[in-house]
């Protein structure tokens, strides 16, 4: 449902482009395809950084607006997805810096849009919900910078030097944030195993 509302917001001119023809319609078709191919990934990345569905929806929309306005900056079309990921992560990090706060939403609210339609067994859904809750708990224990560094480096696989540039710190600081985040994850995991 989150993606449908973003798609509708992102495509306000689709009715106009359907009636027009030529290069404008072709350009609009490329933009619509670009958005639909990258929407879920961008939303998931931003959600992991900001931890709030409503903010992630707004920031996903902002990301695509920025990306489409700045498409001339893209030098290599083959790397459009990676470039878009950087735009998304910078948008999320800038948001957190401006707000200097983090809102959290239950991960259960996100489970439906990301659920795999082929895997709807009750036991699999329960296991996914338990794992999601555990991951959410671990991410909650991290500072904003640790969370951003961890997500950008380990999930998005962006090199440490680029993560450092995005966060405005040195690569050594990024490695420190990631090491601290991993240590916190291990400690929470150990506590969880002891409580079982």
pLDDT digits (tens, 9 = 90+) for 90-99: 898 888 888 7
d(CA 13, CA 163): 35
Instruction: Show which of 105, 123, 154 is a domain's final residue.
Output: 105
Q: Are residues 101 and 145 in the same domain?
A: no
Give me the CATH number covering residue 45. 1.10.1740.10
Q: Are residues 67 and 164 in the same domain?
A: no
Give me the CATH number covering residue 189. 1.10.10.10
Per-residue model confidence (pLDDT) at position 128: 72
Q: Are residues 90 and 165 in the same domain?
A: no
Q: Are residues 28 and 77 in the same domain?
A: yes
Long-range interactions of 24-33: CB distance < 8 A, separation 24+: 31/68
Query: How does pLDDT run across 123-143, given as a tens digit for each residue?
Result: 666 667 777 777 777 777 888
pTM: 0.56
Q: Are residues 98 and 148 in the same domain?
A: no
Per-residue model confidence (pLDDT) at position 196: 66
Cα atoms found within 13 Å of the Cα of residue 13, Cβ hemisphere only: 9
Q: Are residues 99 and 12 in the same domain?
A: yes
Q: Is residue 112 part of a domain?
A: no
Q: Are residues 44 and 100 in the same domain?
A: yes
Per-residue model confidence (pLDDT) at position 12: 45
Q: Is residue 174 part of a domain?
A: yes
Q: Is residue 125 part of a domain?
A: no
Q: Are 6 and 63 in contact (CB under 8 A)?
A: no
Low-confidence ranges of the chain (pLDDT < 70): 1-21, 100-127, 196
Q: Which domain holds residue 5?
A: 1-105
Q: How many domains does the chain have?
A: 2
Q: Are residues 97 and 146 in the same domain?
A: no
């Amino acid at each position: 449902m989150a993606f449908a509302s973003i798609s509708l917001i992102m495509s306000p001119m689709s009715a106009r482009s359907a009636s027009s023809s030529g290069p404008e319609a072709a350009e609009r078709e490329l933009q619509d395809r670009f958005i639909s191919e990258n929407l879920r990934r961008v939303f998931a990345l931003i959600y992991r950084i900001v931890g709030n569905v409503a903010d992630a929806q707004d920031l996903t929309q902002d990301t695509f607006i920025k990306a489409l306005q700045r498409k001339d900056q893209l030098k290599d079309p083959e790397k459009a997805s990676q470039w878009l990921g950087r735009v998304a992560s910078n948008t999320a990090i800038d948001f957190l810096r401006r707000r200097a706060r983090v809102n959290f939403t239950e991960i259960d609210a996100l489970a439906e849009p990301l659920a795999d339609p082929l895997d709807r067994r009750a036991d699999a859904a329960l296991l996914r919900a338990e794992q999601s809750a555990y991951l959410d708990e671990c991410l909650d224990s991290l500072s904003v910078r640790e969370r951003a560094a961890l997500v950008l480096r380990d999930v998005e696989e962006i090199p440490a030097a680029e993560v450092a540039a995005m966060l405005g710190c040195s690569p050594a600081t990024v490695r420190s944030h990631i090491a601290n985040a991993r240590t916190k994850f291990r400690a929470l995991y150990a506590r969880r195993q002891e409580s079982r």
